[in-house]
Amino acid sequence: MSPTHDRRQGWQVLLLGLALLGLVPVGAGCGDLGASDETCRAGERCVCDSLGSCRRSCEGRGCDFRCEGAGSCLLFCEEGGCRAEGTGTGSLILRCPGGSCDLTCSGLGSCELADCPENCNLHCLGSGTCTNG
């Protein structure tokens, strides 16, 4: 077989694989390839570990968020008192208009503690950038 034929066959296999991947349904929960959007209860551990984007909202005051995957995490803590830890490779944003939130970043991705009026702490231990805004 010629090298040209091998390359053409390789591309055909790649295209077929991509087409099949597009036909396979991908769930929206944590730990998969898709985007997810969920509400978490106060006092419960709330984890994002997907390859896609992950959005979590805290119902009540005081959720415990974790961002572990390669995808981005957008976390909302309207009533405040939340803790978040970023150990993944994607970006993490914790919005805390209720105040008294803690964000610890030890992963490779960037972290931002946003909209926090008072008593918020940002601990930047990883190699990514950290912003307190």
- The tens digit of pLDDT for each residue in 42-67 reads 988 899 988 899 999 999 999 999 99
Distance CA 64, CA 46 (A): 6
Token reading at 34? 């898709």
Give how far Cα 20 sits from Cα of 23, 24, 26, 90, Å: 5, 6, 12, 27
Give the pLDDT confidence score for residue 15 in this predicted structure: 34
Count of beta carbons in the 10 Å neighbourhood of residue 15: 10
Q: Is the pLDDT confidence value at 129 over 60?
A: yes
Q: Is the pLDDT of residue 13 over 50?
A: no
Nearest to 91 by CA among 114, 57, 116: 114
Q: Calculate mean pLDDT across residues 89-93.
A: 95
DSSP 8-state class, residue 127: S
User: 14-36 pLDDT, tens per residue?
Assistant: 333 333 333 333 333 344 567 89
The reported pLDDT for the residue numbered 120 is 96
pLDDT of the residue at 57: 97
